[in-house]
Amino acid sequence: MAHRPTRNFRRRAADSSDSDGAEESPAEPGTSRELTAPGPAEEGPPSGGGRAQVAGRPHRVRGPRGRGRVWASSRRATEAAPRADQGSGVQESRTVDVSTDEEDEIHHSSESKDDQGLSSDSASSLGEKELPSAVEIPDAAFIQAARRKRELTRMQDDYISLDVEHASTISGMQKESEDDPESESDDHEKRIPFTLKPQTLRQRMVEESKNRYEETSEESQEDEKQDIWVQQQMRKAVKIIEERDVDLSHSCGSSKVKKFDTSISFPPVNLEIIKKQLNTRLTLLQETHRSHLREYEKYVQDVKSSKSTIQNLESSSNQALNCKFYKSMKIYVENLIDCLNEKIINIQEIESSMHTLLLKQAMTFMKRRQDELKHESTYLQQLSHKDETSTNGNFTVDEKTQWILEEIESRRTKRKQARVLSGNYNHQEGTSSDDELSSTEMIDFQKSQGDILQDQKKVFEDVHDDFCNIQNILLKFQQWREKFPDSYYEAFISLCIPKLLNPLIRVQLIDWNPLKLDSTGLKEMPWFKSVEEFMDNSVEDSTKESSSDKKILSTIINKTVVPRLTDFVEFLWDPLSTSQTTSLITHCKVILEEHSTCENEVSKSKQDLLKSIVSRMKRAVEDDIFIPLYPKSVVENKTSPHSKFQERQFWSGLKLFRNILLWNGLLTDDTLQELGLGKLLNRYLIIALLNATPGPDVVKKCNQVAACLPEKWFENSAMRTSIPRLGNFIQFLLQSAHKLSRSEFRDEVEEIILILVKIKALNQAESFIGEHHLDHLKSLIKED
């Protein structure tokens, strides 16, 4: 059985045309090497056959296309290579398709010779379109010869073809196609043999010897062609590298150097034309040069003018000083604001710490007083009921109440001893402020206060005096006002100074307690004196606009001092304390009376301060005043605890009455009369007096009430009747006078008449004198 060799012709043709300089893959064993190396067009087709030549043609076309992308970068050259291979592959596939069609015509006897010619013509026309003119295209005879040779080779091989139909009809179809081309159209009507003709032994021996000879000759020819092909590939690779270098150099210099085209004709040139063109060019260059010179001279003049202007400005002392001063003030104010913005948070924390400390102390005093009043009142109420006593007559008291009573008595004893040592014998029990602290509490308070004051000193310890000393700051603005008053007033500096000084003044007010008698007055404070001096200096060159500087101090007080004073009134002030009230009134008079910006002007902050004062006194009347009423049998005994407690509470209420009326001149008369007369005198004090037995003690108390009343209320000489709110008090005086006139207390009656005259109850006094025939007392009314 004959063995059919592997058909590797088309694969070899494709491999040879796919790569320009790559090595050919080795042939498989047992396959004939039929590929002929392609050569240049002038060498002619190789002896191996026309198919090798056709297969090699696309390679000649690819060479120039591949060399066209050498100038690109390494990345783009890599991308271009597959594209070039793809293009050649198209041509190669077309060539291979031609041979494939031709082979199919041999294998399928049903195809005609016309189709063979058509495929040959299409292959030829395809080659003519894609291949250059230098390539020689094989004719139909050449293709037929190559086909016959390939068929003989297949028939002589020792193998049985699986395609029996094709193998048995190859020779017959070939002969018929050569003799009668027109009969190919009727091949499908002929009988197809399905078996091979038997051969004799002689024929088989001849074929075997012939096949061996042809195989030997073909192998030698293929080896020779392979060597030639290798040499051509080497030359081609060297040529491609050289052309690539030339293309790179050409692509780099193509933008600068252009090839001279000899086919272009130029007009005739002579020396006159050249000279004329050169003169024209020279003239243009000279004009350009002259324009550049003119521009250069202009720039030089501009530079000189600018330098002279700078020198003139620098030489003019006024403008330079003005600019320098304004610039320095701008920088100074910016630095000052930055400094204050950085320190304001620390200042607020220190203020809050001091306020918390003082508030804790004030709440301690207030809570202790209310608790002691509650426990003492409860103790006396229980003591007054006999059913709450024990069987043996002793009254049982819980330990807490007993301890509180002992503490109260201990502090009273200490205060009494202190008054005796000071020589004060006219003191009334209940009028002293119970604001003593234990030694431990006092040490803790002083320690905490000292720590806060140390923090206060450290606030501006790292700041230059020009930025934390109020006098130095005002001196800067005073220089501005003296040198440039117009710009000073146009900038509204009088409105800015209070805001700049606010943090600095608040630092100085941290240790200021207006509730203490020994506290520093506002006028003695350093910042107050500095601001007053700044305002006084503006009077010398005062103009219409400069009057705004006179409001600086008032603005500072309204924006800085009054809010802090309001906090003291709302949270720390005890209206029952005469010392605190007196000190507070002193500071408020400085603020409310002496430093108003204009007559009858009351700012919103001052209104808030007055409202807080009234509110705090109302709360004190409601929460702190308590005067119990006991049976006269119990009260008549002056040594009884009930009588002592009632006396203390009466004098405590009278003390608050006096403290309220001390605000005369700062608060309105209606407000004071409503608080002092309406809420306190008529509701608490008169009731306590009515419950007491008429006598010298009652007259003494009435004298104290009358002494607290402001004289301003009774300055009108035409008054014959007193204030309406004093009606209850006047009625009580008349009742007490009637009772005393029947007894031996004649002097007390005279004192009551004097009280009536003092409060301008003249009509009531005259009627009482006439009713009781006290003619010797009429002189008192006339003297008034």
Domain ranges for the chain, please list them: 342-386+399-418+437-538+546-618, 625-783
Give the alpha-carbon dihedral of 722, 725, 729, 734, to 10 degrees: 50
What pLDDT is stored for residue 129 in this prediction? 41
Does 587 or 782 have the greater pLDDT score? 587
Question: Are the C-beta atoms of residues 471 and 530 closer than 8 Å to each other?
Answer: yes
Tell me how far the alpha carbon of residue 564 is from its chain's centroid. Answer: 33
Q: In the numeric block, which tokens belong to residue 670? A: 């209606």
Whole-angstrom distance, CA of residue 784 vs CA of residue 780 = 6
Provide the greatest CA pair distance for the chain: 196
Whole-angstrom distance, CA of residue 327 vs CA of residue 34 = 100
Q: What is the pLDDT of residues 202-249, one digit of tens each?
A: 777 778 877 777 777 777 788 888 889 888 888 888 888 777 766 666
Tell me how far the alpha carbon of residue 613 is from its chain's centroid. Answer: 43
Q: Please, what is the Cα angle at 109 between 103 and 115, to 5 degrees?
A: 65
Tell me the three state secondary structure of residue 667: strand
Does the pLDDT value for residue 135 go beyond 60? no
Residues linked to residue 664 through DSSP beta bridges, in sequence order: 667
What pLDDT is stored for residue 98 in this prediction? 37
What does R_g of the chain's alpha carbons equal in angstroms?
66
Whole-angstrom distance, CA of residue 722 vs CA of residue 731 = 12
Tell me how far the alpha carbon of residue 633 is from its chain's centroid. Answer: 78
Least confident of 315-324, 335-344, 727-736: 315-324
What pLDDT is stored for residue 613 in this prediction? 95
What pLDDT is stored for residue 198 in this prediction? 64
Does the pLDDT value for residue 107 go beyond 70? no
Q: Residue 136 — pLDDT band, cuts 50, 70, 90?
A: low
Highest mean pLDDT among 221-230, 312-321, 617-626, 771-780: 617-626
Whole-angstrom distance, CA of residue 761 vs CA of residue 739 = 19
Instruction: Give 55's Cβ-side CA count (13 Å radius).
Output: 26
Query: Which has the closest alpha carbon to 34: 209, 207, 225, 212?
Result: 225
Q: What is the pLDDT of residues 251-302, one digit of tens each?
A: 555 555 455 566 677 677 788 888 999 999 999 999 999 999 999 999 999 9
What pLDDT is stored for residue 63 in this prediction? 40
What pLDDT is stored for residue 86 in this prediction? 44
Highest mean pLDDT among 46-55, 575-584, 715-724, 767-776: 575-584
Does the pLDDT value for residue 424 go beyond 80? no
Least confident of 182-191, 234-243, 328-337, 619-628: 182-191
Q: Residue 545 — pLDDT band, cuts 50, 70, 90?
A: very low
Whole-angstrom distance, CA of residue 468 vs CA of residue 371 = 47
What pLDDT is stored for residue 391 in this prediction? 46
Task: Round the average pLDDT of the chain to a whole number and report it.
Answer: 74
Helix (H) or strand (E) holding 405: helix 399-422
Angle between helices 317-384 and 604-624 (to 10 degrees): 10
Instruction: Give 627's Cβ-side CA count (13 Å radius).
Output: 26
Tell me how far the alpha carbon of residue 704 is from its chain's centroid. Answer: 66
Q: Residue 769 — pLDDT band, cuts 50, 70, 90?
A: confident
Does the pLDDT value for residue 707 go beyond 50? yes
The residue type found at 458 is: K
Does 629 or 417 have the greater pLDDT score? 629
What pLDDT is stored for residue 539 in this prediction? 52
What pLDDT is stored for residue 602 in this prediction? 58
Does 200 or 629 have the greater pLDDT score? 629
- Residue 377 DSSP code: H
Q: Against a cut of 0.95, is the pTM above it? A: no
Question: Are the C-beta atoms of residues 435 and 364 closer than 8 Å to each other?
Answer: no
Backbone φ, ψ for residue 96 (5° rounding): -65, -35
Q: Residue 445 — pLDDT band, cuts 50, 70, 90?
A: very high
DSSP string covering 62-78: HHHHHHTTTTS-HHHHH
Helix (H) or strand (E) holding 708: helix 696-708
Whole-angstrom distance, CA of residue 480 vs CA of residue 728 = 65
Q: Residue 506 — pLDDT band, cuts 50, 70, 90?
A: very high
What pLDDT is stored for residue 355 in this prediction? 94
Question: Are the C-beta atoms of residues 778 and 762 closer than 8 Å to each other?
Answer: no
- Residue 724 DSSP code: G
Q: What is the pLDDT of residues 461-476, one digit of tens each?
A: 999 999 999 999 999 9
Tell me the three state secondary structure of residue 167: helix
Q: What percentage of the chain reaches a pLDDT higher than 70?
A: 67
Tell me the three state secondary structure of residue 747: helix
Question: Are the C-beta atoms of residues 193 and 169 closer than 8 Å to each other?
Answer: yes
What pLDDT is stored for residue 661 in this prediction? 94
19-37: average pLDDT: 38
Helix (H) or strand (E) holding 288: helix 271-315
The residue type found at 7 is: R
Query: Which has the closest alpha carbon to 36: 49, 22, 18, 20?
Result: 49
Whole-angstrom distance, CA of residue 444 vs CA of residue 426 = 35
Does the pLDDT value for residue 608 go beyond 70? yes
- Residue 773 DSSP code: T
Does the pLDDT value for residue 171 go beyond 50? no
Q: Where are the alpha helices (DSSP H) in 26-112?
A: 50-67, 74-107
Q: In the numeric block, which tokens belong to residue 252? A: 């780099």
Least confident of 98-107, 220-229, 436-445, 599-608: 98-107
What pLDDT is stored for residue 95 in this prediction? 37
Residues constituting the chain:
784
Q: In the numeric block, which tokens belong to residue 15? A: 């491999």
Q: Residue 728 — pLDDT band, cuts 50, 70, 90?
A: very high
Does the pLDDT value for residue 635 go beyond 80? no
Query: Which has the closest alpha carbon to 684: 714, 729, 722, 641?
Result: 729
Least confident of 211-220, 228-237, 374-383, 615-624: 211-220
Q: Residue 693 — pLDDT band, cuts 50, 70, 90?
A: confident
Q: Residue 564 — pLDDT band, cuts 50, 70, 90?
A: very high
Burial of 36 (0-12, 13-18, 19+ CB in 10 A): buried
Q: Where are the alpha helices (DSSP H) in 521-640?
A: 526-540, 552-556, 562-567, 578-589, 604-624, 632-635
Angle between helices 470-483 and 317-384 (to 10 degrees): 140
Whole-angstrom distance, CA of residue 711 vs CA of residue 726 = 14
Highest mean pLDDT among 37-51, 81-95, 286-300, 734-748: 286-300
679-697: average pLDDT: 89
Q: What percentage of the chain reaches a pLDDT higher than 90?
A: 31
